[in-house]
Structure 1
Amino acid sequence: MRSPTSTGTSQAWAALGADASLLDRVSYGGPSGGLPARLPVMELARSTVAVCSLAAAELTSVRTGRPVPRVRVDDEAVATAFLSDRLVRLDGRAWSTFAPLSRFWRASDGWVRTHANYPHHRARLLAALGVSGDAREDVAHSVAGAIAERTAREVEETVYAAGGLAVAARGPEEWAGSEQGVLVAGQPLLTTARIDDAPGRVLGDAALPCAGLRVLDLTRVLAGPVATRTLALLGADVLRIDAPQLPESQEAHNDTGMGKRSTTLDLGDATDRRIFEELLREADVVVIGYRPGALDRFGLAPDTLAERRPGLVIAQLSAWGRYGPWHERRGFDSLVQVATGIAELEGSADAPGALPAQALDHGTGYLLAAAVLRALTEQQRTGGSQLVRSALTQTAHWLVHGLASAPGGEGGFDAGRRLTETDSPMGRLRYALPPVSYEGGPVDWGRPPGVWGRDAPVWIGV
């Protein structure tokens, strides 16, 4: 077993505003080697899981009145969990995490990465580039030709203006000198705040830290669902809500829907809106993963939420941050890697590279879950509605500039040791076991994912 100290864990725990004396409850071990990279990806992974586990242990102590349980972070479990979206299988079948048009392309002066996993993003990309998308055409060839005729920045601006996703590859220095990069560098890893004096819900004695809590999950791939999947592991009733006009990938839900239920509501429809308001009145936590301001018209800004449901814990996640010229842009882990210089640092002279996992997504997800758990702990002490915020770019900045490489564990990495199977409504599901662990804590989710969007929009027991 390695030393019970980690610079990354200490940094993240401090960012959460937590008691540093609790860090001696954490130890590390297990075989590593599952996330090889030039940047300290394994340290990011183990640190984010460590603080999430410790925050769960702390809240358990608050609810039971017993000492904070010990936490052991296992590198093999952590690495496997960070690869969960690539390791999930349904009846033995794998799925591709990236669609054919989600990739790097060579522009006239550099590289561009696009994201077109969802049909509406694919359509907007093709429209912006003037490519028809006719099934009889070689669409990838046409996209390559259209991008090759433009500069990388021209492709970025043209596609974003059309509502699509494309980002020009930048070096770390170029990003650091940009307006958005300067603003990101000035932000903490995450932020937490008490936004009013409303009394928080008093949590009774319970074996699981989130037992009896109700979480509205308004997130999409991948960081937000990882956070809410973790809250479900810890006992929360998590109800994911999506708009019916924005269908989700069932394959993605097979990974991130563990322990949760899923329904669809159109907040622009009067009947669905009433149902949502009824759910909100009984909610304890709301997690929002859409672009900043995208849901404000539905009364989902933090201050408005807190007025309608005093004592709420509100968690907000964004790709680029809630500030600066990029704050309204859509974004995903792969695009943040390209913009912030990570792709260049992990690449070669011939082409950009990528991290060995969607580590910004997974790491930010565990950080966000940790922030929610700490907000619940602070709420027991001081009350008040609580607001926590995180961004993929802030996690990226921490990875590039804040973390130092740490030694790995002993022995070889074998993801198979941290995989298990269960029956689900879709078939036989293989999935990664949760890495969040503490003495007496849960070792698996209480239920498999279901068919996306098919659950009733009600809380369990109502």
Structure 2
Amino acid sequence: MTDLLTPIQAALDLPHTPLTLTEAGALPSTFAVTELAAASLGAAGQAVAQLIQQQTGRLPNVSVDRRLASFWFASSLRPLGWQVPPLWDPVAGDYPSADGWIRLHTNAPHHRAAAERVLGQVAERKAMAAKVAAWNAAELEQAIVDEGGCAAQMRTWQAWQAHPQGLAVNAEALVQRQTFDATTDQPWLGSVARPLAGIRVLDLTRVLAGPVASRFLAGLGADVLRIDAPTWNEPGVVPEMTLGKRCARLDLKTAQGRQVFEALLKDADILFHGYRADALEHLGYTASEWQALAPGLIDVSLNAYGWSGPWRNRRGFDSLVQMSSGIADAGMAWKHTDKPVPLPVQALDHATGYLMAAAAIQALSERLKTRRGGSARLSLARTARLLMEAGQVPEQPALRAETAGDQGLLVEQTAWGQAHRLLAPLSISGSPLQWDLPAGELGSHRAQW
């Protein structure tokens, strides 16, 4: 089996304890996607086990069901009699340009508008394809990015290795960790059953990676408050990702919004954010500012393309990073086809989310020991490198098909109707993953602890 756990344990400073894996088979891919799912979930579980051992002297066993982990990397929600809205905007996707492939990411209305300012307004994919065909891929990518949109030319792994951003990402650690001098004296209020009880998590992340991290922490008893901008919505992922959380809206561009936000931050233990590196600086919030406002805060952030290099402030998503970094091109060669072949799931997002969760829990263990806050920075592009460096893998048998027995017995009363969740893919003895709140709409709660 491809060993992805060892480099993750090294990046997080986790003890190299073995992980019990159950179930065989793998998601179909030229890369070790199921191994990545199991390793990232397993590392998050090991971080929890380490916290429990530090606080109680007892080390729980940790095991991952590889099959359930693979399913959760797609979705965990099984609606009863209703449907989750589609994930993708009608014109989002891969298009042949004059000299190769490019992907347009248009799910957010302002990102679609940016692409249409460059290419002209269209109603459907066929019209968009005709417009893209006239462009050189690199020039179109740059034009859309310059308009504030999101696009990625398909590059080979070799081209990405030689690209200034690929070189920058290669020089970064998988998890960039730092400890702060600012201290706090917060005792552990948790228990073996709910190890994160009493921990307040302020979540400023969107779409997938960050919300995966905060959903995991909520499953261990953390109080998660998600903050969104007044008009933001992501209907295709909200039912999947708001499990266990309260969701409020704030406008950080207004004095009142900032005031409420800073009051929330003062009482937060963990902050997750996925804004571009320069976006928070423009709002006046830097790492030192966080620590001044909330001494001892654990600050975990992610971006798409890494924290150094010319693209550090570029907007990006999992599917775009797969195009830029050579994953979609390698998939195309593996499938012997003439169009990009991405990973079968948004694995960079989900894996990075569990690594963020592990980093936050590691920093919490450290804070309980030394009273110091800490930070961790991760990126989708660096997680892509972890997966690609593990190499291409021989085809494995498919995962056993999903059955009704894979679902929990409880019915979740979501804001859209009843649903089941798949059974948790991770088992920590004595500390079951369980969520106190069903999935709900963005903005359905007040911005208060």
Q: Same fold (TM over 0.5)?
A: yes
CA distance, structure 2, for counterparts of residue 389 and residue 403 of structure 1: 24
Partner in structure 1 of residue 355 of structure 2: 367
- CA contact under 8 A between 2:179 and 2:374: conserved in structure 1? yes
1:447, distance to aligned residue in structure 2 (A): 1.4
Give 2:407's match in structure 1, choosing from 415, 419, 442: 419
Partner in structure 2 of residue 56 of structure 1: 48
Partner in structure 2 of residue 84 of structure 1: 75
- CA contact under 8 A between 1:88 and 1:429: conserved in structure 2? yes
SS, match of residue 59 in structure 1: helix
| Residues 1:402 and 2:390 aligned together | yes
1:22-33 to 2 correspondences below 5 Å: 23-24=17-18, 26-33=19-26
SS, match of residue 247 in structure 2: strand
CA distance, structure 2, for counterparts of residue 269 and residue 116 of structure 1: 27
1:222-301 to 2 correspondences below 5 Å: 222-245=208-231, 247-301=232-286
1:415, distance to aligned residue in structure 2 (A): 5.9
CA distance, structure 2, for counterparts of residue 76 and residue 237 of structure 1: 29
SS, match of residue 376 in structure 2: strand
1:42, distance to aligned residue in structure 2 (A): 1.2
1:277, distance to aligned residue in structure 2 (A): 1.5
1:405, distance to aligned residue in structure 2 (A): 4.8
- CA contact under 8 A between 2:49 and 2:61: conserved in structure 1? yes
- CA contact under 8 A between 1:340 and 1:393: conserved in structure 2? yes
SS, match of residue 293 in structure 1: helix
Give 2:31's match in structure 1, choosing from 39, 43, 60: 39
1:177-192 to 2 correspondences below 5 Å: 177-192=162-177
Summarize the Cα distance change of 1:13–1:200 in structure 2 as closer, same or farther, 3 Å threshold. farther
1:53, distance to aligned residue in structure 2 (A): 0.7
- CA contact under 8 A between 1:44 and 1:403: conserved in structure 2? no
Give 1:215's match in structure 2, choosing from 196, 201, 205: 201
1:170-181 to 2 correspondences below 5 Å: 170-181=155-166
- CA contact under 8 A between 1:113 and 1:169: conserved in structure 2? yes
CA distance, structure 1, for counterparts of residue 375 and residue 247 of structure 2: 24
- Give the unaligned 5+ runs of structure 2: none
CA distance, structure 2, for counterparts of residue 78 and residue 144 of structure 1: 36
Partner in structure 1 of residue 11 of structure 2: 15
1:369, distance to aligned residue in structure 2 (A): 0.4
Query: C-alpha deviations, 1:261-308, integer Å up to 9, x for none?
Result: 100001122222221121111110100011112122334321110111
Give 1:148's match in structure 2, choosing from 127, 133, 136: 133
| Residues 1:434 and 2:430 aligned together | no
Query: C-alpha deviations, 1:78-132, integer Å up to 9, x for none?
Result: 01110117x5536332432222211100100000001011111111111111x13
SS, match of residue 251 in structure 1: coil
Partner in structure 1 of residue 100 of structure 2: 110
Task: Output the TM-score relative to the length of structure 2.
Answer: 0.94
1:248, distance to aligned residue in structure 2 (A): 1.4
CA distance, structure 1, for counterparts of residue 423 and residue 118 of structure 2: 41
Aligned-residue sequence identity (percent) comes to 35
| Residues 1:120 and 2:110 aligned together | yes
- CA contact under 8 A between 1:248 and 1:452: conserved in structure 2? yes
Task: Output the TM-score relative to the length of structure 1.
Answer: 0.91
- CA contact under 8 A between 1:8 and 1:403: conserved in structure 2? no
Summarize the Cα distance change of 1:415–1:11 in structure 2 as closer, same or farther, 3 Å threshold. farther
Summarize the Cα distance change of 1:90–1:290 in structure 2 as closer, same or farther, 3 Å threshold. farther
Query: C-alpha deviations, 1:388-409, integer Å up to 9, x for none?
Result: 1100000000100136759979
- CA contact under 8 A between 1:40 and 1:406: conserved in structure 2? no
Stretch of structure 1 that moved more, 363-372 or 413-422: 413-422
- Give aligned pairs, total: 443
| Residues 1:319 and 2:310 aligned together | no
1:439-458 to 2 correspondences below 5 Å: 439-458=429-448
| Residues 1:332 and 2:332 aligned together | no
Summarize the Cα distance change of 1:337–1:410 in structure 2 as closer, same or farther, 3 Å threshold. closer
Summarize the Cα distance change of 1:228–1:403 in structure 2 as closer, same or farther, 3 Å threshold. farther
Give 2:58's match in structure 1, choosing from 67, 73, 77: 67
CA distance, structure 1, for counterparts of residue 428 and residue 240 of structure 2: 22
Summarize the Cα distance change of 1:14–1:272 in structure 2 as closer, same or farther, 3 Å threshold. same
SS, match of residue 348 in structure 2: helix
CA distance, structure 2, for counterparts of residue 370 and residue 166 of structure 1: 30
What is the letter of the counterpart of residue 308 of structure 1? Answer: L
- CA contact under 8 A between 1:200 and 1:385: conserved in structure 2? no
Query: C-alpha deviations, 1:321-342, integer Å up to 9, x for none?
Result: 1110111110000000000000
1:17, distance to aligned residue in structure 2 (A): 1.3
Summarize the Cα distance change of 1:416–1:330 in structure 2 as closer, same or farther, 3 Å threshold. farther
| Residues 1:387 and 2:378 aligned together | no
Summarize the Cα distance change of 1:255–1:411 in structure 2 as closer, same or farther, 3 Å threshold. closer
RMSD: 2.1
What is the letter of the counterpart of residue 93 of structure 1? Answer: Q
CA distance, structure 2, for counterparts of residue 407 and residue 148 of structure 1: 34
CA distance, structure 2, for counterparts of residue 147 and residue 407 of structure 1: 34
- CA contact under 8 A between 2:3 and 2:390: conserved in structure 1? no
What is the letter of the counterpart of residue 68 of structure 1? Answer: L
CA distance, structure 1, for counterparts of residue 393 and residue 59 of structure 2: 28
Summarize the Cα distance change of 1:438–1:328 in structure 2 as closer, same or farther, 3 Å threshold. same
CA distance, structure 2, for counterparts of residue 154 and residue 333 of structure 1: 21
- CA contact under 8 A between 1:30 and 1:409: conserved in structure 2? no
Stretch of structure 1 that moved more, 403-412 or 54-63: 403-412
CA distance, structure 1, for counterparts of residue 177 and residue 90 of structure 2: 38
- CA contact under 8 A between 2:73 and 2:347: conserved in structure 1? yes
Query: C-alpha deviations, 1:349-377, integer Å up to 9, x for none?
Result: 41111101000000000011001011111
What is the letter of the counterpart of residue 386 of structure 1? Answer: G
